[in-house]
Chains A and B, each alone.
Chain A
Amino acid sequence: MPLTNERAEELAEQCRQFRVDVLTAIHGAQSGHPGGSLSVCEILTLLYQELMNVDAKRPDDPDRDRLVLCKGHAAPMLYRNLIEKGFLPADSMATLRKLDSQLQGHPSIHTPGVEMPSGPLGIGLSAAQGMALGLKLNGSPARVYAVLGDGELNEGAVWEAAMSAPKFGLDNLTAIVDWNKVQLDGTTDEIMPIRDLPAKWSAFGWNVVRCDGHDLQALCSAVELARATKGVPTVIIADTIKGKGVSFMEGKAAWHGKAISDEDYAKAMAELGGDR
């Protein structure tokens, strides 16, 4: 079912607020990854706030949907979503990257709502595959989502999982690539050209859906297509913009992992309507 216009607007407003809160936390920690947290905002928000079956009151429900944030450095956007779902206290954002915090720089499985540790790129999709295999064996209706970065696709292990998941017919597994065209040292074209990404996944046997990763309606249809597809896993290739929402961060590798100065923070807040 497509989102109603009203619901789409609500989610868009949530995305705006989450961007504000995530940048506030990264600014507070004076460390973290603004670019990749902003680009994955709609993807995570739509999944957690609309589509996934997860409930903080039943965190061990064997039939809950799972999400592996393979690009673990976008953790703040995951945490903000988990807070909204009630897994974490609202004021915990301010403890990001601080001593004794539940909000580690990269996701820890000891944090409520986090299903798998991540941070080292390249191994998340395989872990999601393991979940999907186990859930199938259990006869569970649960779905597994793996959210990857495009730079992360440089890792060979991603392609090992890309090759094996279709073999096992994992139609309960959906990979989502946050295709923002920028990695750490530079753009993907400069560091490791991806070339024809949809064709690559397709050649490995995946159902490939491409969409605008900042368009909630388009993302929603893509996930629904994935749910409806039987026999093979689906990859959603989401066209995104690194640093989306803050003009001076957009498309810039320099904003991959950089502390935000007070001045830049104020500018970003003005653009995002932070004080609304």
Chain B
Amino acid sequence: MAQAIREVYGNVLTELGEQNKDIVVLDADLSGSTKSKVFGQKFPDRFFNMGIAESNMVATAAGLSTTGKIPFVNTFTVFLTTLGLIATRAQVCYGNLNVKLGGAYCGMSDALDGATHHATEDMAAMRALPNMTLLVPSDATSTRWATEYAAKTWGPFYLRLSRDVYPDLYAPDYKFECGKGAIVRDGNDVTVIACGLLVHKAIEAANELEKKGVSVRVVDMYSVKPIDRELILKCAEETGAIVTAEEHNIYGGLGSAVSEVLAWAGAGVPTEFVGIRDTFTESAPYAQLLAKYGVDANGVAAGIEKALTRKK
């Protein structure tokens, strides 16, 4: 099965709202899109549509959190992590407040709206904030886990969510852990460390390359911060080459996080970075954008081949 990440998120949030009366939800005139509306319809008293006012929204959430509430803040990823950034930095993170940010349309998933609506640097900003936990779900089950985990764990969280439909990846009882990644496909020639949509593209690429006799390991790094240091080092050692893959600028996101770990440990191996290559994107149907900007299965496969050539 496959499910839209935003739908799963909206439904889980509503279930959580039933269990915990302290959960409150905010949105900035996009509740129909982010699916926070599902919560809003069920619990109108605990739902605040702030209008098109992201800075106001995040700062309001900061205040709410000091009264024992657990605010979940929603809008398009790009507006949340830009207009909402000052309150996220100065209040939520500096204050280490119990605020949960849901960035609804990550990467290029709001494809047709174009560059102004794509979020391709949000992880760089969120990852650089002390106290922030950054989770990137890659299917319905991990979306459920990330949302539930954020609700029950103190502190600032950023959930990188998508408008898109992702295939199922995990069994419903899979045991996720914050600070861990998961080997979702084993292999020994090279490891692709991916998050979100790119986990699926990496698996596709791996299956294609298997026909050519290449054995590709795929790691879902659903916890980008904190990151699974041990797993990264183990993959570098066991497969001798790394490819990172993300729907984000190659600067500042998952690729940077992985290379920091490798460099720190002095464990560098040939590494390739699949992502948006420091450029602004454009409007088009989603699949065409993923292809043009090199973040589809072909893009990952190209990265793998380059890494393998360098490994020899």
Residues of A within 8 A of B (CB): 29, 31-32, 72-73, 97-101, 104-106, 108, 117-122, 151-152, 154-156, 183-185, 190-192
Contacts and interface: CB of A to CB of B under 8 A. Distances in A.
B219 interface: no
A110 to B, nearest CB: 9
Interface in B54-108: 55-56, 78-79, 82-83
A29 B284 CA distance: 9
Given A120-B116, A151-B51, 4 more contacts: A32-B112, A101-B284, A155-B53, A185-B27
A185 B114 CA distance: 21
B292 A105 contact: no
Contacts, number: 93
A98 B288 CA distance: 9
B30 interface: yes
15 contacts: A97-B112, A98-B283, A99-B282, A101-B283, A101-B284, A104-B114, A108-B115, A120-B79, A154-B51, A154-B53, A155-B53, A156-B55, A183-B51, A184-B52, A185-B32
Contact of A105 (B27, B31, B32, B283): B283
Interface string B190-227: 00000000000000000000000000000000000000
Contacts of A118: 116
Nearest to A99: B284
A192 B112 contact: no
A82 to B, nearest CB: 17
Given A156-B55, A185-B31, A191 B49 contact: yes
A105 B117 contact: yes
Contact of A117 (B116, B284, B285): B116
Nearest to B53: A154
Given A120-B78, A154-B52, A185-B37, A104 B115 contact: yes
Contacts of A122: 52, 83
User: What interface size band does chain B fall in?
Assistant: 20 to 34
B29 interface: yes
A120 B83 contact: yes
B82 A185 contact: no
Contacts of B285: 99
A72 B82 CA distance: 17
Given A119-B114, A152-B52, A184 B30 contact: yes
A119 B32 contact: no
Contacts of A29: 112
B29 A151 contact: yes
B177 interface: no
A119 B53 contact: no
A106 B114 contact: yes
A29 B288 CA distance: 14
B113 interface: yes
Most chain A beta-carbon contacts within 10 A, residue among B31, B32, B79, B113: B113
B284 A184 contact: no
A191 B112 contact: no
Nearest to B82: A120
Nearest to A190: B49
A231 to B, nearest CB: 31
A108 B115 CA distance: 9
Interface of B: 27, 29-32, 37, 49-53, 55-56, 78-79, 82-83, 112-117, 282-285, 288-289, 292
A42 B90 CA distance: 43
Contacts of A99: 282, 284-285, 288-289, 292
A46 B112 CA distance: 28
Most chain A beta-carbon contacts within 10 A, residue among B49, B52, B113, B115: B52
Contacts of B113: 31, 73, 105-106, 119
Contacts of A185: 27, 29-32, 37, 49
A155 B29 CA distance: 11
A255 to B, nearest CB: 13
Given A105-B283, A185-B29, A119 B112 contact: no
Contacts of B27: 185
A143 B56 CA distance: 32
Contact of B116 (A32, A119, A152, A190): A119
Contacts of A106: 113-117, 283
Contacts of B117: 105-106, 119
A152 B54 CA distance: 12
Contacts of B50: 154, 192
A121 B113 CA distance: 13
Closest 7 CB pairs of A and B: A119-B116, A192-B51, A154-B51, A105-B114, A99-B284, A105-B283, A31-B112
B51 A98 contact: no
Contacts of B288: 99
A92 to B, nearest CB: 13
